[in-house]
């Protein structure tokens, strides 16, 4: 967050990533590249800023406000101020901790595989060849398919007499082929994580493919001439060049990991007995099944804070590692 | 050995073996889904599974297309996605142009606030947005979907397009200004046409996210006539035994427009990703 918004990154050219700071251009209106003309920029901004303020910023503020109340959705009832009670309740709520653990497990077991496998596929597809676009499309297919469709598809594949049990049992003989995947917490989480990885590899592959275009070819050749093996070349040449892409992928995947909702809702509905609830399914249930909007808001605020802190820590770590090349 | 023909052949073989294995894992679930969509309910969960449907039937497609307002859901999805995408692109490209071409007080601040919208995921705001939609009488309506889809995609699109506008030489703008063109003319006749690859990329992303959006539609839509495809497909599961054939027939019909859009725009899409997301 800090890196993304630091000072003159606004004038940087790239999108989605922090770039090397450029000198400020403001104040050099006629020789510089920007215009200074009174009201005009505000007229350009007005429609978007108004929409954004009403539909995004105001709800952000209201989420925090609601989390301090026993919020009543019915017009006539008055909402009661509770102070920090909703937060204390969350702290003492074992089911919240269970859902947070599940979210954390999902994040831990989907982010690293997506990065490693996505990078491997990108490296395999780096060389231009007639088949490259074809493979790229195949790996990207799950990314562009809706979460609803792939969640239902995986629910079907992981059904008791589904394709997964057949493959593992009768084809590979690794299990008895009678696992009730979605009926138990850990096996259900395996199925949900498998979906997350399967759907996400194509996305990180695409970002890494774009990043790999910035690997200096001369440097790679020079390293080969010097006798560096594949792994040494990867570490010394490729990795530093794709470091910004790596930062982007890691940050986005971690945020996305904590944002898991649709796949859990459709594959298990949080069941059995709420055992596979993640924070967002629990929040959703509190708000829209039990109409406890205040507690739901508190859960959303807590999750936002966790994601925010983790993102800031990641950006710091990456900055330390890469010194001046970022931010 | 290094560079010798046999080592290179071996590495190429390994490369393709790995790629094909990976691609199979990606594609087999889809093929199996297609296969199941042609099975009658009695054959969807047989053991061992049927890879080639026998007997094959198109009943699921007929049923999906003829019953339960499917045409209506499809139309709703098209209306919502097309309007939300067009308006979002217009509004965010205007913002992006202001950020890329003007200096003005509050520029940094507004941009940073916009960045906040990129970091806070949509689900975190679903409760207060529901209350807001209630107050604005937008619940259970297509405008309720459209307005929030526009707002939700503004930040990312502005971010993407601003980067592209900044890469267009400012001298072109200045030359037009000397010729007497005002800011709107410069934006509409110069910046937008030049930004076509970025606009194509933003169009695909925005259309996809509106077409596939599930949580918000699930939350605010109650009337069957106002449903969009993702929520409707999920309802096809039925009360007791899931009608898998029907679910997947409906899913495939819903996926077709997306795949067409993706294949048609693929060239632009990769260009835009490359130019937009990673510094070259």
Q: Write the pLDDT tens digit of every residue in B206-239.
A: 998 999 999 999 999 999 899 999 999 888 876 6
Question: Could you tell me the sign of the dihedral formed by the alpha carbons of A11, B276, A15, A246, in that order?
Answer: negative
* Higher-pLDDT residue of A43, A220: A43
CB neighbour list of residue A183: distance below 8 Å, 6 or more residues apart? A272
**Residue B19 burial (C-beta neighbours within 10 Å; 0-12, 13-18, 19+):** buried
Residues of chain A with Cβ-Cβ distance to B279 below 8 Å are: 13-14, 17, 19, 214, 244
Answer whether residue A36 is part of any domain: no
Helices (H), chain A: 2-5, 40-52, 58-66, 85-91, 94-124, 132-144, 147-157, 163-166, 185-212, 217-225, 230-233, 239-241, 243-258, 262-267, 279-288, 293-322
Answer whether residue B46 is part of any domain: no
Q: Report the number of distinct structural domains present in chain B.
A: 2
d(C-alpha B233, C-alpha B250), whole Å = 6
Judged against a pLDDT cut of 70, whether residue B173 lies above it is answered with yes
Q: Which CATH number do you get for residue B88?
A: 1.10.3720.10
Q: Which CATH number do you get for residue A190?
A: 1.10.3720.10
Query: B136 with B246, same domain?
Result: yes
Q: Report the number of distinct structural domains present in chain A.
A: 1
How far is residue B21 from each of residues A37, A62, A143, B167, measured CA to CA in Å? 58, 49, 18, 40
Do B119 and A1 make contact, defined as CB atoms within 8 angstroms? yes
CB neighbour list of residue A255: distance below 8 Å, 6 or more residues apart? A307, A311, B119, B121
Residues of chain A with Cβ-Cβ distance to B103 below 8 Å are: 25-27, 29, 32, 34-36
Mean pLDDT (whole number) for A101-112? 95
d(C-alpha B118, C-alpha A96), whole Å = 26
ω into A272 cis (within 30 of 0): yes
Q: Does A280 contact B at CB distance below 8 Å?
A: yes
Query: B130 with B232, same domain?
Result: yes
pTM of the full predicted structure?
0.85
Q: Does A47 contact B at CB distance below 8 Å?
A: yes
Q: Which residue, among A55, A114, A294, would best test binding to B if mutated, counting the most B CBs under 10 Å from its CB? A: A55
CB neighbour list of residue A235: distance below 8 Å, 6 or more residues apart? none
pLDDT given at position A1: 31
Regarding an ipTM greater than 0.95, the answer is no
- Segment A129-176, tens digit of pLDDT: 888 888 988 998 898 888 999 999 999 999 887 888 888 888 887 877
Judged against a pLDDT cut of 90, whether residue A265 lies above it is answered with yes
Mean pLDDT (whole number) for B119-130? 89
- Segment B183-209, tens digit of pLDDT: 899 999 988 988 888 888 888 889 989
Mean pLDDT (whole number) for A82-91? 89
Answer whether residue B55 is part of any domain: no
Answer whether residue B135 is part of any domain: yes
Cβ atoms of residues A138 and B27 within 8 Å: yes
Range of the domain at B129: 69-277
The CB density around residue A265, as the number of other CB atoms within 10 Å, is 23
The mean predicted confidence, pLDDT, of chain B is 86
Do A141 and B30 make contact, defined as CB atoms within 8 angstroms? yes
Query: B123 with B183, same domain?
Result: yes
The CB density around residue B63, as the number of other CB atoms within 10 Å, is 17
Query: B135 with B25, same domain?
Result: no
Answer whether residue A64 is part of any domain: no
- Among the ranges given (A162-176, A236-250, B27-41, B191-205), the one the predictor scored with the smallest mean pLDDT: A162-176
Answer whether residue A68 is part of any domain: no
Query: B85 with B22, same domain?
Result: no
Cβ atoms of residues B225 and B69 within 8 Å: yes
Judged against a pLDDT cut of 90, whether residue B28 lies above it is answered with yes
Answer whether residue A321 is part of any domain: yes
* Higher-pLDDT residue of A45, A9: A45
Mean pLDDT (whole number) for A296-315? 92
Residue of A nearest to B95 (CA): A45
Q: Does A279 contact B at CB distance below 8 Å?
A: no
pLDDT given at position A5: 30
Mean pLDDT (whole number) for A200-217? 88
Query: B73 with B20, same domain?
Result: no
- Segment A11-56, tens digit of pLDDT: 333 333 333 333 333 333 444 456 666 888 999 999 999 999 999 9
Cβ atoms of residues A87 and A298 within 8 Å: yes
Query: B13 with B142, same domain?
Result: no
Answer whether residue B64 is part of any domain: no
Query: B93 with B24, same domain?
Result: no
Query: B26 with B116, same domain?
Result: no
**Residue B200 burial (C-beta neighbours within 10 Å; 0-12, 13-18, 19+):** middle
Q: Which one, of A238, A148, A152, A249, lies nearest residue A205 by Cα? A: A249
The CB density around residue B156, as the number of other CB atoms within 10 Å, is 20
């Amino acid at each position: 967050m800090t890196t993304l918004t630091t000072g003159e990154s606004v004038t940087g050219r790239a999108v989605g990533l922090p770039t090397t700071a450029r000198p400020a251009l403001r104040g050099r209106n006629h020789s510089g590249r920007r215009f200074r003309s009174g009201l005009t920029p505000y007229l350009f901004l007005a429609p978007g800023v108004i929409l954004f303020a009403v539909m995004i910023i105001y709800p952000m503020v209201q989420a925090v406000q609601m989390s301090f109340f026993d919020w009543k959705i019915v017009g006539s009832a008055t909402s009661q101020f509770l102070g920090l009670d909703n937060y204390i309740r969350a702290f003492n709520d074992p089911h919240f901790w269970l859902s947070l653990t599940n979210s954390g497990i999902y994040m831990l077991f989907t982010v690293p595989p997506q990065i490693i496998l996505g990078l491997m596929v990108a490296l395999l597809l780096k060389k231009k060849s007639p088949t490259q676009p074809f493979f790229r499309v195949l790996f990207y297919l799950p990314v562009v398919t809706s979460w609803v469709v792939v969640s239902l598809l995986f629910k079907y594949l992981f059904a008791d007499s589904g394709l997964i049990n057949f493959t593992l049992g009768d084809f590979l003989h690794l299990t008895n082929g009678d696992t009730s995947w979605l009926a138990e917490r850990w096996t259900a989480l395996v199925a949900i994580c498998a979906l997350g990885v399967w759907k996400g590899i194509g996305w990180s592959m695409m970002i890494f493919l774009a990043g790999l275009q910035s690997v200096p070819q001369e440097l790679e050749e020079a390293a080969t001439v010097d006798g560096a093996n594949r792994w040494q070349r990867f570490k010394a040449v490729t990795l530093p060049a794709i470091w910004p892409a790596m930062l982007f992928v890691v940050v986005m995947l971690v945020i996305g990991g904590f944002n898991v909702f649709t796949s859990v809702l459709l594959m298990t509905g949080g069941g059995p007995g709420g055992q596979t609830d993640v924070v967002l399914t629990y929040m959703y249930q509190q708000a829209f099944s039990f109409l406890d909007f205040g507690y739901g808001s508190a859960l959303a605020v807590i999750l936002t804070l966790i994601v925010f802190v983790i993102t800031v820590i990641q950006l710091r770590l990456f900055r330390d590692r890469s010194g001046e090349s970022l931010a | 050995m290094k560079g010798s023909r046999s080592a290179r052949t071996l590495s190429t073989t390994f490369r393709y073996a790995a790629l094909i294995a990976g691609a199979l894992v990606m594609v087999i679930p889809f093929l199996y889904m297609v296969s199941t969509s042609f099975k009658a309910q009695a054959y969807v969960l047989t053991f061992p599974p049927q890879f080639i449907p026998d007997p094959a039937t198109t009943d699921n497609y007929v049923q999906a297309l003829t019953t339960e307002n499917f045409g209506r859901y499809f139309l709703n999805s098209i209306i919502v996605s097309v309007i939300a995408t067009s308006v979002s692109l217009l509004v965010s490209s205007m913002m992006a142009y202001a950020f890329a071409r003007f200096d003005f007080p509050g520029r940094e601040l507004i941009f940073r606030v916009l960045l906040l919208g990129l970091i806070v995921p949509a689900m975190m705001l679903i409760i207060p947005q529901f209350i807001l939609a209630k107050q604005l009488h937008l619940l259970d309506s297509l405008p309720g979907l459209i307005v929030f889809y526009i707002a939700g995609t503004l930040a990312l699109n502005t971010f993407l397009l601003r980067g592209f506008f900044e890469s267009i030489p400012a001298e072109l703008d200045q030359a037009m200004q000397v010729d007497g063109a005002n800011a709107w003319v410069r934006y509409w006749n110069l910046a937008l046409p030049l930004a076509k690859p970025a606009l194509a990329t933003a169009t695909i992303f925005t259309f996809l996210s509106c077409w596939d959006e599930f949580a918000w539609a699930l939350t605010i839509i109650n009337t069957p006539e106002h449903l969009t495809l993702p929520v409707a497909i999920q309802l096809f599961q039925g009360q007791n035994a899931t009608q898998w054939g029907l679910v997947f027939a409906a899913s495939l019909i819903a996926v077709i427009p997306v795949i067409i859009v993706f294949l048609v725009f693929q060239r632009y899409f990769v260009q835009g990703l490359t130019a937009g997301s990673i510094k070259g």
